[in-house]
């Protein structure tokens, strides 16, 4: 992964540090003919709510998740 991409992701993730997860919801979307699976995570702290949305290719996630998981944890 490019360093600038990694830096941006860390900056985004750090906004949620210390916040409590309040809700998580999976949603299926289709964009330009490609099926996507989104996970919307809602965090809260002291009345401030923030939403993180993770988007993955549904075909990869559903069909190849075991292979990807095994590769990632090695």
Would you kindly state where each structural domain of the chain is located, as residue ranges?
3-73
CATH number assigned to the domain with residue range 3-73, chosen from the 4 options 3.30.360, 3.10.450, 3.30.160, 3.40.50: 3.30.360
Residue 25 has pLDDT above 90, yes or no: yes
Of 64 and 23, which is predicted with more confidence? 23
pLDDT of residue 64: 63
Q: Reduced to 3 states, what is the DSSP secondary structure of residue 13?
A: helix
Alpha carbon distances (Å) from 48 to 1, 26, 45: 31, 22, 5
pTM score of the predicted model: 0.68
């Amino acid at each position: 992964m490019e360093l600038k991409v990694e830096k941006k992701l860390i900056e985004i993730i750090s906004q949620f540090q210390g916040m409590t997860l309040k809700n998580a919801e999976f949603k299926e979307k289709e964009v330009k003919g490609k099926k996507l699976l989104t996970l919307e995570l809602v965090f809260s702290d002291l009345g401030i709510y923030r939403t993180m949305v993770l988007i993955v290719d549904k075909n990869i996630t559903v069909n190849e998740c075991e292979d990807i998981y095994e590769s990632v944890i090695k």
